[in-house]
A and B are shown apart, each in its own frame.
Chain A
Amino acid sequence: MDKVIIAENLSLSYKEFETIISKASFSIDAGSFVFITGASGSGKSTLLKSFYGAIEPRAGHLTVGGVKMSRISTSKLNFLRRHIGIVFQDYKLIKEWTIEKNVMLPLIISGYTKDVSGAQVQKLLGHVKLIHQAGKYPPELSGGEQQRVAMARALAHNPILILADEPTGNLDEYSSEVIWNLLEGANTQLKTTIIVVTHHIPSSINVPYKHFHIELGNIHEVS
């Protein structure tokens, strides 16, 4: 099976003498569903950031989608990011854009025509049950609704990999269910690799998954 992520002796840190992840070696198969857990400040989000190039490996090697992340050029990084969907805990929606345009963002970046992106956005807004909110702006929506918009945005361009950082951290039950259903659907129907950073793995999850746990800078697979 193809590997979407390969880490060899990967070390991550923000400051020179403060290692967050130390010499981690692991790989993630294409099309798999992965949970990364760990206590607060254990480095879960830092690891996720390294997958989309927001932080460069301090030592070791990290390959994402066949692209080496050490000293990666801006154009290569942009190319990689155009094939990744990201869901943030704080949603990261563009406040001055409508919900529809926010979902359209990855399609605009990838250069899709208005017709294609319009149809895709309508479909996704239907999936996240927000079709009636398309013309509104993010501050007009609840937290749960905003996260569903972020989820639709992450799926818009059919990415090979979805990275989700605490996607249901502060959400109500209904929004959490919509999010998990969409992630499961993308994994089973589109074979998208899903990596979710979370404190707790939901008991309702219905797909086979891999579980990595981070403790004191070390990553180990939980069987």
Chain B
Amino acid sequence: MKSLKNHISLIIALFTVLFSVQIYVSVDRTIAAYETRLKNDYSIIVVSSKLLNVSEFKAMDNLIDRSEPIATDQVLERLKAEMSQKNLDLLKLTLPKFYRLYLNRFPTPYEIEKLQKQLQKNPAIERVEGYAQTHDTVYKLMLLFKDVVQVFSIVIAAVTSLLILKEMRLWQFQHAERMSIMALFGAPVWLRSAVLFRLAIVDAIIATCMLCLAFFIINEYGWMDVLLHTVGIKIQLFNFINDSIRSLIIALSVSIVLTLTIVIGQQEEE
């Protein structure tokens, strides 16, 4: 029972570390997906007095990914009833060219400002419209959220690592007698500490399985998917192959490094 209690303490601590890391990864993924969505939705409108092609736009600023001319036919169609064909043709010739510019990533307000200035340097460009304000507020909020989650994850990881270290100190005391008897008969350090390493590895595997199970349940119930869908994001919160492998590596690394710390500490005491 006592041994089970010790196992559970370490498993819960490891699970907390893994969960906080996974939450951070999921938030990062969500923000990256939101960024992509913003980037795809976002465009700059440019009014030019002459025809411009994409390479000319790209030459002005490498943030520009592609350009799309905005057709004026619809506007002219509406004026058809009020104007003669001759006047319409004249208007068509004098009407400036409208372009929608798409960027290769979502820009910061500073970058938008810089880009606007850069475009306005071209004598053919008469007007540039950024429309960044609405997107920018939400995006900044998300970045703030990401930073908060990051800080929170680091704090949780640090605190739980200390808890794990304490837990392993307890293990060390429990196994100290056996380890010292083995030392009296010339057992090398790795053999004396084999039990500690075995426990650490088993607990790391169990903690990873628990994490997979937790995210399986989250995925299965789907309420996170619904929440993300409402903000127009569709992502996989937990990738069962990549994320479980990464979590297992983290859990094993944390538990093995901490076991090593204990073993080296005990050697110095000897």
By a beta-carbon cutoff of 8 Å, the part of chain A in contact with chain B is 52, 54, 74-75, 77-84, 86, 92-97, 105-106, 108-109
Contacts and interface: CB of A to CB of B under 8 A. Distances in A.
Contact of A105 (B177, B185, B188, B189): B185
Contacts of B181: 92-94, 105
B78 to A, nearest CB: 90
A46 to B, nearest CB: 16
A86 B183 CA distance: 12
Contacts of B267: 74
B195 to A, nearest CB: 10
Contacts of B189: 74
A82 B178 contact: no
B187 interface: yes
A109 B184 contact: no
A78 B188 contact: yes
B188 A86 contact: no
Interface in B118-167: none
Given A54-B184, A94-B182, 14 more contacts: A74-B189, A78-B183, A78-B188, A79-B186, A81-B184, A86-B184, A92-B181, A93-B181, A95-B177, A97-B178, A105-B181, A105-B182, A108-B191, A109-B187
A106 B178 contact: no
29 contacts: A54-B184, A74-B267, A75-B188, A77-B186, A78-B183, A78-B188, A80-B186, A81-B183, A81-B184, A81-B185, A82-B186, A83-B186, A84-B186, A86-B185, A92-B184, A93-B181, A94-B178, A94-B181, A94-B182, A95-B177, A96-B178, A97-B178, A105-B181, A105-B182, A106-B186, A108-B191, A109-B186, A109-B187, A109-B191
A106 B177 CA distance: 16
Looking at chain B's contact residues, the main secondary structure is helix
Contacts of A75: 188
Nearest to A77: B186
A114 to B, nearest CB: 16
Contacts of A105: 181-182, 185
A55 B178 CA distance: 20
Contacts of B186: 77-84, 106, 109
